[in-house]
Structure 1
Amino acid sequence: MNRTLLPELVERIGQTAVAKGLDVSAPAIAKAMKAGRVIFVIENEDGTLTGEEVRPFPSRPLLHRSAPDETKYA
């Protein structure tokens, strides 16, 4: 069993291979890396891949900023 950060594994075996091993799309891998998600990929002894994500607890969604109130500046 080998535990590797997602970007390191992508660099070693390629985005397509990692996506196929985790049963997700290649764009999903790219999006996770671009977002800076901390994902470890475990290479199991039977050759399968398993992903684990490290997230803060409790995990709260980011608040979306609304557009500035234009009436303030009129």
Structure 2
Amino acid sequence: MEKISLAEYVRLNGQVKTARLIGVHQTAISKALRSGRKIFLVRQDDGTYEAEECRPFPSQKQALGENKDEYQEYD
């Protein structure tokens, strides 16, 4: 399996082709690039591509306590 960053794949093939390849709109590719997300395209053995994102666990929002309401106990 071959792994390439979204930014590099877009540089080589353009946003429209990249979007079609993974089944999203071109605007989603543009937004992901602008926001600096760590997204990679992985070429599968059958020649198809899947996208995967690498991000910290827990997410920064959880680490900062912004989702504290999710764990609230109820009487």
Runs (5+) with no aligned partner, structure 1: 64-74
Per-residue deviation at 1:47? 2.6
Residue 32 of structure 2 aligns with which residue?
32
Question: Identity, % of aligned pairs?
Answer: 43
Residue 5 of structure 1 aligns with which residue?
5
Runs (5+) with no aligned partner, structure 2: 67-75
- TM-score between the two structures when normalised by the length of structure 2: 0.74
1-side partners of 2:58 and 2:7: how far apart?
25
Q: Radius of gyration: which is bigger?
A: 1
Q: Deviating runs (4+, > 6 A) in structure 1?
A: none
What secondary structure sits across from 1:56 in the alignment?
coil
Aligned residues: 63
What secondary structure sits across from 2:41 in the alignment?
strand
* Root-mean-square deviation over aligned CA pairs: 1.7
Please state which structure has a larger fraction of its residues in helix: 2
What secondary structure sits across from 2:56 in the alignment?
coil
